[in-house]
Amino acid sequence: MPRKDLSPRYAALAGAIEAKLKSGIERLPTTTGELGYRVEPELLLEVCRTLRDDPELKLEMLIDVCGVDYQAYGLDEWQTTSATGTGFSRGTLRETDPLAAADEDQHAQYRPAGRFAVVYHLLSITHNHRLRLKCFCPSDERPIVDSVCDVWSSADWFEREAFDLYGVLFRGHPDLRRLLTDYGFIGHPFRKDFPLIGNVEMRYDPARGRVVYEPVSIEPRTLVPKVIRDDARYEPDLNAKDPGSA
């Protein structure tokens, strides 16, 4: 997909951000004309405070914080045992793709530096402009970044949600507990390796007078299989050209 240039207004904003922050940030490629930056985890709080406090930027509102799991992103579309991983192009960018060879920067965004990232959506009420920040967790085994609750108090529940669903830890968060799943829930359901059917199921047991948890009884299934139709279109004899015809 071709890139889209920034509007003059956002190009001016990008110039101001890059002049003030200089290092530690990298502009993200865009196909929609939106402005975004990747920030190094050790500079996250410093960058966020500058974006909030600088009079020319004034990104005083945090709209959302979300987690991202890049496991096998851009490498394989269907990670199942009963469906092939080849034969699909949607959602993948292969090494042989001419678009990937023609644009190394676009190809790089399909091979992220880490598995887990945290994305911040910012809004300036003063200047009416928006910005996206992306910060990759240094460790895949124990993903952790600094909490921005001291910068934007609205991050409190957003970070709890990202912790609950993706298992990302936020250093310095005042009360990092699960937000959406049940007490005692095991795992993080938005991770790519979390089973679609879950690990346990619950029901009310009238004999015990309480809710009980049991191993899940649903059988795994492939939701989007690769279908190969067995019909005349795939018969080699019918598709071979007649040597006598020209």
Characterize 27-64 residue by residue with b for buried, 16 or more Cβ atoms within 10 angstroms of its Cβ, and e for exposed.
eeeeeeeebbbbbebebbbebbebbbeeeebbbbebee
Predicted local confidence at residue 45, as pLDDT: 97
Tell the residue number behind the tokens 């990759």, with chain if given: 136
**Burial class of residue 146 (count of CB atoms within 10 Å of its CB; 0-12, 13-18, 19+):** buried
Phi/psi for 170 (5° steps) reads: -120, 110
Do the Cβ atoms of 80 and 25 come closer than 8 Å?
no
* pLDDT-flagged residues of the chain (< 70): 1-3, 74-111, 220-246
Predicted local confidence at residue 1, as pLDDT: 46
Tell the residue number behind the tokens 């904003």, with chain if given: 13
As a 3-state breakdown, the chain gives helix, strand, coil percent values, each rounded to 5, of 25, 20, 55
Tell the residue number behind the tokens 């490498």, with chain if given: 75
Domain boundaries along the sequence of the chain: 8-73+112-191
Dihedral sign from CA coordinates of 14, 53, 171, 169: negative
Predicted local confidence at residue 198, as pLDDT: 84
* pTM of the full structure: 0.76
Do the Cβ atoms of 18 and 26 come closer than 8 Å?
no
Helix (H, G, I), strand (E, B) or coil at 235: coil
CATH class of the domain comprising 8-73+112-191: alpha beta
